[in-house]
Structure 1
Amino acid sequence: MSFSEFDLIRTYFSHATGNRGDVLLGIGDDCALLNPPAGRCLAISIDTLVEGRHFLPEVDPAALGHKALAVNLSDLAAMGAEPAWVTLAITLPTVDEVWLRAFVDGFAQLAAAHNVQLVGGDTTRGPLSITVQVHGFVDPALALRRSGGRAGDRLFVSGTVGDAALALQRLRDNAAHGTEDACLLARLDRPTPRVALGRVLAGRANAAIDVSDGLAADLRHICEASGVGARVDLSRLPVSPAVAAACDRGDWHYALAGGDDYELLFSVGADQVDAVLAACGAAGEPVQEIGSLVDEEGIALVYPDGRVSKEIPDGFDHFRT
C-alpha cells in the first residue's frame, strides 16, 4: 500500500493517544489549540533521536517509541512538572507498516500512563530520526532548577546508574545474553521517567537534574549553576550487580559517565531530608543519598579505598562523543 503524508497521520497518529479536556483542537489543523491552566507555567522540552547516534538500527520499534517519549518526560520530571501534551516529528526512510505500528504502540502506551495527548507533529522521508517536544505544567514557585543548590545540601539519586551504558557496551561486543543482560537492556531501551518523583520533589528539593549524560557530568551542571562544589561517596552509589562488578574491577565509567540513565539527581537541605525521604517512600520512589554539596570548587570523588580524586570523567556530548 502506498501512503501519503496525510494517510500516515490519519492512520497512525490522529488517534494514537487519549483526549484531554485542555486540548481544544488537536491533530488535523494547521495548529493545535491548547488551554493551559491559570497560575501555572508551561514547562517545555525537546529532544531528537537519530539512528546510529542515539539508537542502533536493529532496535525494537516499540521500545524506540517508548524511549523517544521517555527521555522528554524525564526533563519534565527534573523540573517537577506535570506532563500534558506532546508533538512528534518523524523522518522515515520508507513506510514499514509493521515497524510504524509497533513504534506508535510503544509511544502511545507511555503517553497513556502519564495522561499525555499527542497534539501535532510532522512526517517526512529521509534517514530515520525522531524529534519529540513535551509540554507540562508547573507552579513557578515550586519548579525545580539546577541553580538552587546550596552548600550543605545532601545529594541524592533515584534508581540505579550505569545499567544503560553497560547494556550498550555489551550489545556492541555481541555479549548480551541471559537474564542479567535482559534486565540491563530493559534499562537502555525502556527507561522509566521519574515523573512522580519530580512532583514529590517540587517545592522540597533545592536543585535537580535528570541524569542523561552521566552522573558526574550532570552533577557538574548543578554545581556550576549553583556556584558550589560537591563531594560524592562512590561506595554509596546505587548500582546493579552487573555495574557493581565493573566498579569492583576499577571501572567506574558506567556508573559515573555512561549516561542514558534518566534518573533524577537532586539536592535537599539538611533540615528537609527526613520529610523528603518520607515523601519518596510514600510514593514508592527509590532514592539513595550519595554525598553533599560543599562550599568549594570542583567535585571530589571519594573511592571505596579512601582515595579522593577531582578527576571527573566526561559525560556524553553529541559533538565530542
Structure 2
Amino acid sequence: MSLGEFELIARHFARHSGAAARAFAPGVALGPGDDCALLAPRAGMQLAVSSDMLVEGRHFLSTVAPARLGHKALAVNLSDLAAVGAQPLAFTLALAMPRADDRWLAGFAEGLYTLADAHRCALVGGDTTAGPLNLCITVFGEVPAGGALLRSGARPGHALWVSHPSGGGIGDARLALECFRGTVALEGAAFERVRRAMEMPQPRVALGIALRGVASAAIDVSDGLLGDLGHILRNSGAAGAPLGATIEVDSLPASADLAGQPDHWRRTCTLSGGDDYELLFTAPEAAAERVRAAAHEAGVGARCIGRIEPAPGIRLLDAGGGLLDWATFRSFDHFRDDGDER
C-alpha cells in the first residue's frame, strides 16, 4: 500500500506531537506539527546536538529488517550523546525512500519508537521525500554545563578503556559483515548473534552519564577502534603534536564467536571493525575502581586495554609482548573505502 507524504507522517510518526511530546519528554516545549520544534533544556544544562546519516548500500544492507533499521538509525545518534555523557531529549528524522510502503514504514517506526521510548527521547520533527533510501537523524540531549565528556582530555599515563556487552566483546559487527561478504563462515545461532550486533547496536547512554567526572576523554567506536582512538590522540595533544598509545591487542574483549576465529580476523574485527558503538575512553589510573563502578551501574562491561603515552603513534602489543604493524588494521573512511557497507 502506497501513502501520501502527510498521511504517512500522521500514521507512523505523529506519536509525540503536542501535549504528548511534553508529557513524554519535559524538555520539549513544542513537538512536531509547526515549522520548528521548541526545546527547553533545564537551567544549568547545555544542549548536545549530533547528526548521522545512514545510506542503503553504504551503512546497511538491503536485507535488513525494517524494525532493526529503525533501531539502528536512532541508536547510532544516541551513541554520540553517550560519548559526551548527555541525557537524550529529542530527535528529528529526515527520511528519503523510493516509495511510501505502509508495511515497511510500520516496521521501521516500531524499531525506532521502541528505542526512543527506552530512552525517553521524543521525535519532534523532520522531513520525508521520494528518493534512494536514506535516513538522517539529528538528536538533542542535555548535559550539565561544563560537564560534557570530550575527546580532548586524555593525558600521558591515563588508562585506555573500552566498554563491551556483559559476557561479550567488540568486533562482532565486522564479523557479521565478513559473513555477508563470504570471507568468514558462521552458521545458525552464531551468525544470528553477530548479525544482531551489526544491525541492533546498543548505545551506552547510561555508561556515558555514569562516567561524567570519571573519564578524562571519550568517543564512541563507529569507524573502528584504532581510527577513533586517533581522534582522541589528536584532540588531546598539543597543536601539531598528538599523543600516542600502547594497546594490548589480545586483551581486547571478544565474544566466543569472534574469539574462535584465527588471530588475523579476531584482531582485524576488534581493532578496525567499526559499527560497535561502544565507548572508548580514558581515565587516570587512580580512577579504575570508579570506572568499574560506573560500568556496573550501567549494566555493561569495561576493560582496560592500554595506556596513553607522550610519544606519538599507536603501538600494538600481542600477548607475548611482540609489536604488531598497526597500519595493517585500517579503520573505515567513507571517501576511501568504496563499496564497503558499514
- TM-score of the two chains, using structure 2 as the length reference: 0.90
Q: State the distance in 1 between where 2:265 and 2:322 align.
A: 12
Q: Matched residue of 1:146: which SS?
A: coil
Q: State the distance in 2 between where 1:73 and 1:291 align.
A: 26
- Is the 1:141–1:203 Cα contact (8 Å) retained in structure 2? no
Matching residue of 1:182 = 192
Question: Cα–Cα, structure 1 residues 249 and 29, in superposed 2: closer, same or farther, change >3 Å?
Answer: closer
* Cα shift at 1:190: 0.4
Question: Cα–Cα, structure 1 residues 247 and 158, in superposed 2: closer, same or farther, change >3 Å?
Answer: farther
Matching residue of 2:4 = 4
Matches within 5 A, 1:186-225: 186-225=196-235
Q: State the distance in 1 between where 2:269 and 2:87 align.
A: 30
Q: State the distance in 1 between where 2:264 and 2:316 align.
A: 17
Q: Matched residue of 2:320: which SS?
A: coil
Matching residue of 2:259 = 244
- Whether 1:140 aligns to 2:145 is yes
- Is the 2:149–2:218 Cα contact (8 Å) retained in structure 1? yes
Matching residue of 1:97 = 102
Q: State the distance in 1 between where 2:136 and 2:227 align.
A: 24
- Which deviates further from its counterpart, 155-164 or 14-23? 14-23
- Which deviates further from its counterpart, 172-181 or 192-201? 172-181
Q: Matched residue of 2:43: which SS?
A: coil
* Cα shift at 1:161: 1.3
Matching residue of 2:240 = none
Q: Matched residue of 2:41: which SS?
A: coil
In structure 2, which of residues 302, 315, 322 is the aligned counterpart of residue 287 of structure 1? 302
* Cα shift at 1:276: 2.0
Q: State the distance in 2 between where 1:201 and 1:283 align.
A: 10
Matching residue of 1:83 = 88
- Whether 1:172 aligns to 2:217 is no
In structure 2, which of residues 27, 32, 36 is the aligned counterpart of residue 27 of structure 1? 32
Which sections of structure 2, spanning at least 5 residues, go unmatched? 238-242, 338-342
Residue 15 of structure 1 aligns to which amino acid in structure 2?
R
Which sections of structure 1, spanning at least 5 residues, go unmatched? none
- Whether 1:161 aligns to 2:170 is yes
* Cα shift at 1:51: 0.5
Residue 15 of structure 2 aligns to which amino acid in structure 1?
H
Matching residue of 1:299 = 314
- How many corresponding residue pairs? 321
* Cα shift at 1:176: 4.9
Residue 66 of structure 1 aligns to which amino acid in structure 2?
H
* Cα shift at 1:167: 0.4
Q: Matched residue of 2:152: which SS?
A: helix
Residue 167 of structure 1 aligns to which amino acid in structure 2?
A
* Cα shift at 1:244: 1.8
* Cα shift at 1:14: 0.8
- Is the 1:246–1:252 Cα contact (8 Å) retained in structure 2? no
Q: Matched residue of 2:178: which SS?
A: helix
- Whether 1:277 aligns to 2:292 is yes
- Which deviates further from its counterpart, 193-202 or 249-258? 249-258
* Cα shift at 1:24: 2.1
Over the matched positions of the two proteins, sequence identity in percent amounts to: 49
Matching residue of 2:283 = 268
- Whether 1:58 aligns to 2:58 is no
After superposition, give the CA deviation of every residue in 1:142-183 in whole Å (9 maximum; x if it has no partner).
Answer: 210111000000111011211001101102229453111111
Q: State the distance in 2 between where 1:257 and 1:283 align.
A: 25
Consecutive aligned runs of 4 or more in structure 1 exceeding 6 Å deviation: none
- Is the 2:8–2:102 Cα contact (8 Å) retained in structure 1? no
- Is the 1:299–1:310 Cα contact (8 Å) retained in structure 2? no
Residue 13 of structure 1 aligns to which amino acid in structure 2?
F
Q: State the distance in 2 between where 1:113 and 1:10 align.
A: 22
Matching residue of 2:49 = 44
- TM-score of the two chains, using structure 1 as the length reference: 0.96
Question: Cα–Cα, structure 1 residues 54 and 250, in superposed 2: closer, same or farther, change >3 Å?
Answer: closer
- Is the 1:231–1:291 Cα contact (8 Å) retained in structure 2? yes
